[in-house]
């Protein structure tokens, strides 16, 4: 899959008559990192579930890789409480019929990637919230997905843990070069992570696409004028004026 993925004129109308998306078109070039930001109920999760193939569009078309090439990370880590970190990560690989040696190799590789080398035997209750989310991310990465979909994965975590996981995710993306679509409520997180930020407003309307300039280094990006400009533009598309509030 070296191709761009598309949502083309996608409409999603649920059985109860709710229209979540009404003609959304958005493309996702191979290897790109897109952040989707917008208010609660605007259709972000619906767009992600359509890309994952968990929902079928009422009309329009969706191009996506096959199911085994897609990794999905939810807001809740959704780990099995009685299974170790290792077994939680290994489970989808076992179900997919991978050989034992291959599973061992992949699980230790992704545990290492998410910074949990040596913690494979821990049960979920022995891990912090941030660590549980790292296990959840490792489970999605273990299938070596071409498309990684994340639905507000770090929203429940404290600010410092979230900032660290944002940086870890960027590092993983730069190493893996998979296509990433990251849903968030946070304007600053969207501008920090996304090469491109798609701003959705109510009814799944695409209000704006912000192309965020690639920073020379990540360390000073949050204090750079480019970052603040991007946040201002995203906020404006959402109907907020950050400068009027002293800018944050």
Ligand X SMILES: Nc1ncnc2c1ncn2[C@@H]1O[C@H](COP(=O)(O)OP(=O)(O)OP(=O)(O)O)[C@@H](O)[C@H]1O
Which residues contact ligand X (rule: CB under 6 A)? 14, 16, 18, 20, 38, 40-46, 185
- Out of Mg ion, ligand X, none, which partner does residue 42 contact, by CB within 5 to 8 A per kind? ligand X
Query: For the chain, how many helices (H) and strands (E)?
Result: 7, 9
Task: Give the tokens for residue 8.
Answer: 């083309």
- Out of Mg ion, ligand X, none, which partner does residue 219 contact, by CB within 5 to 8 A per kind? none
- Out of ligand X, Mg ion, none, which partner does residue 2 contact, by CB within 5 to 8 A per kind? none
Instruction: Tell the smallest beta-carbon distance from residue 152 to ligand X (Å).
Output: 7
- Among the residue ranges 38-46, 66-74, 157-165, 194-202, the one whose residues contact Mg ion (CB under 5 A): 38-46
Give the phi and the psi of residue 193 in degrees, each rounded to 5. Answer: -90, -45
Task: Give the tokens for residue 24.
Answer: 């959304």
Q: How many angstroms separate the CA atoms of 239 and 94, rounded?
A: 47
Residue 46 sits in the site that holds Mg ion (CB under 5 A): no
- Out of ligand X, Mg ion, none, which partner does residue 40 contact, by CB within 5 to 8 A per kind? ligand X
What's the chain's length in residues? 248
Instruction: Tell the smallest beta-carbon distance from residue 151 to Mg ion (Å).
Output: 6
**Of 6 and 74, which CB lies nearer to ligand X in the complex structure?**
74
Instruction: Tell the smallest beta-carbon distance from residue 92 to Mg ion (Å).
Output: 22
Instruction: Note whether 43 and 55 are within 8 A (CB).
Output: no
Task: Using alpha carbons only, give the angle 143, 101, 128 rounded to the nearest 5 degrees.
Answer: 55
**Of 34 and 46, which CB lies nearer to ligand X in the complex structure?**
46
Instruction: Name the β-bridge partners of 61.
Output: 8
**Of 123 and 155, which CB lies nearer to Mg ion in the complex structure?**
155
Q: How many angstroms separate the CA atoms of 26 and 65, rounded?
A: 16
**Of 37 and 111, which CB lies nearer to Mg ion in the complex structure?**
37
* Residue of 34, 45, 88, 190 that binds Mg ion (CB under 5 A): 45
Burial letters for 145-166: b for 16+ Cβ neighbours within 10 Å, e otherwise? bbbbbbbbbbeebeeebbbebb
Instruction: Tell the smallest beta-carbon distance from residue 97 to ligand X (Å).
Output: 31
């Amino acid at each position: 899959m070296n191709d761009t993925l598309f949502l083309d004129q996608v409409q999603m109308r649920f059985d109860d008559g709710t229209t979540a998306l009404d003609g959304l078109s958005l493309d996702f070039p191979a290897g790109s990192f897109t952040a989707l930001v917008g208010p609660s109920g605007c259709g972000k999760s619906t767009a992600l579930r359509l890309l994952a193939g968990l929902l079928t569009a009422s009309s329009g078309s969706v191009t996506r890789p096959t199911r085994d090439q897609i990794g999905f990370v939810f807001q809740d880590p959704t780990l099995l409480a009685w299974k170790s970190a290792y077994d939680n990560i290994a489970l989808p690989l076992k179900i997919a019929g991978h050989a034992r040696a291959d599973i061992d190799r992949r699980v230790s590789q992704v545990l290492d990637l998410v910074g949990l080398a040596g913690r494979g035997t821990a049960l979920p209750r022995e891990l912090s919230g941030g660590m549980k989310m790292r296990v959840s991310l490792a489970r999605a990465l273990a299938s070596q997905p071409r498309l990684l979909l994340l639905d507000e994965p770090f929203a429940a975590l404290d600010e410092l843990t979230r900032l660290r996981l944002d940086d870890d995710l960027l590092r993983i993306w730069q190493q893996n070069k998979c296509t990433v679509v990251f849903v968030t409520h946070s304007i600053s997180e969207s501008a920090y992570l996304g090469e491109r930020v798609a701003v959705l407003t109510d009814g799944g309307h695409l209000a704006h696409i912000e192309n965020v300039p690639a920073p020379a280094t990540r360390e000073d990006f949050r204090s750079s004028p480019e970052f603040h400009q991007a946040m201002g533009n995203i906020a404006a598309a959402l109907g907020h004026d950050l400068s009027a509030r002293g800018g944050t």
